[in-house]
Structure 1
């Protein structure tokens, strides 16, 4: 079926509009990657500061201290899994890969999993396809400002779990950000119970300053506060890493889409040039034929 010049022009206009959209979305994704990457780095610094506080408290704990033993006395009996993905599509295979990794984590849990929380509307459908339907679906924030409120919401949910079970195991499954060009890889890490081996490791580390700080509040209260802040910081950094990974995946997807659109535009321009040349050739042949007829 022959294509007219008007049809080619309409296709070129549509492709140019699509190219403009992909270019805009690519720029927005690049900006988002940078913002979320900075947020993750900032929370990493905050976690290092909390480690220094835990190091100070841990120096005054011994094996018989209630504040030390309260975090490791009872082994977990049940587990919860929090999975991070995306709200929307156009971000490559991030949701599918994270959902598959979450299914492996759930299958490998040594205790029964009583709740699966999906952070991201698009992720929930992928989890259902892998046989791990989420019990709760939360929205992934769209900006850095929305991370802390959503992390606080999860922290309230974790407190509710701990009231029902004093020592649940909470696992995080998320796309770990590896860089703007390296993309992501599915990862998991335990959030609770708090690793007391981490306290022993901190005690053995040298203090970065010349003098050790002290504190005036009770060490049990201070340790509980630092542990809670450490959990909150871990949640917040996981949010930032997941959002950076989603933005980086969308950046790669938009880059590929823009490349495809540019190739399609080049094909349409060649087709339009061919049709234009054919029309010019046809007109020239008509002129020559008319001239030959008049001369005869």
Structure 2
């Protein structure tokens, strides 16, 4: 067998092995994506209820700024940026687009004279910031495939403690919002101060508003609304972080499934082209052998 024909045959075998791996990874990502979608669907009612109760309690309390975590700082001098990425690659632009968005926002903050403090969830975000020699105040790894509520609580507690202690004046979180297996949207949300987050927004329709009268249901608080709000606010921050983790997980599985499907299709095209080249090389080798036999016969 000629050397070039042998090399082509070896390359076809290598590409077929890679195609088997990418197909298996696509199937695994699809199974994990379905579970991640179920977790997001299960979280939404609870997250909506916590948001609604926190908003109602803030309206009833009347002195929301007295709570440290709800107090807006006089000026925004230090901004914390939380990047939610994955622990692994092979997911297309899933990780890189979050890192690019975070770095762009950091440049904007620095241009405005603000200091940036970095937080990263996921090994890809941690390694990227480390490679750029950017100091990381908080790194959280090892759970991007299936984040637990305890992971969100750990992140939220550190962010809230830094905000209350005055180390941070604002916290922005960047994550991939899940739309579909083919579409992931980079989302930037202000987590703290909560006056700029969704906890106090008035646009959301309260589920306890009567359709006939348009009035809110009467709510009596025991203990008072201040204490209840103080308990709900940490829950809301934790839920917000947990939702970002779940959205990122579903987006990662969807991006990996799509990337592996594209890789399998590209491998199939490459196999077809290499097989065609291999057949041409084999035909050329056979033709050359026939010509050599004919030339030898004529020489005799």
TM-score range, shorter chain: 0.7 to 0.9
Q: Specify the alignment match of 2:275 in structure 1.
A: 269
Distance verdict in 2 for CA 1:160–1:209, change over 3 Å = same
Q: Specify the alignment match of 1:84 in structure 2.
A: 84
Q: Specify the alignment match of 2:27 in structure 1.
A: 27
Give the secondary-structure state (helix, strand or coil) at the position aligned to 1:89. coil
TM-score (norm 2): 0.79
1:184-234 deviation per Cα after TM superposition (whole angstroms, max 9, x unaligned): 33x211111222884472798462569655443332221112111111110
Counterparts of 2:100 and 2:274, CA distance in 1: 40
- Contact 1:99 / 1:130 at 8 angstroms: preserved in 2? no
Q: Indicate whether 1:250 and 2:256 are aligned.
A: yes
Residue 85 of structure 1: how far off its partner (Å): 1.6
Q: Specify the alignment match of 1:158 in structure 2.
A: 159
Give the secondary-structure state (helix, strand or coil) at the position aligned to 1:135. strand
Distance verdict in 2 for CA 1:30–1:75, change over 3 Å = farther
Q: How does 1:152-231 map to 2 (within 5 A)?
A: 152-165=153-166, 168-185=169-186, 187-195=187-195, 198-199=199-200, 201=202, 205=206, 207-208=208-209, 212=218, 214-231=220-237
1:230-257 deviation per Cα after TM superposition (whole angstroms, max 9, x unaligned): 1111000111122222223322322232
- Contact 2:55 / 2:199 at 8 angstroms: preserved in 1? no
How many pairs does the alignment contain? Answer: 288
Residue 284 of structure 1: how far off its partner (Å): 5.5
Q: 1:123 aligns with which of 112, 122, 125?
A: 125
Counterparts of 2:207 and 2:250, CA distance in 1: 33
- Contact 2:36 / 2:249 at 8 angstroms: preserved in 1? yes
Alignment gaps of 5+ in structure 1: none
Counterparts of 2:50 and 2:42, CA distance in 1: 13
- Contact 2:194 / 2:200 at 8 angstroms: preserved in 1? no
Moved more, 33-42 or 197-206: 197-206
Counterparts of 1:148 and 1:57, CA distance in 2: 24
TM-score (norm 1): 0.80
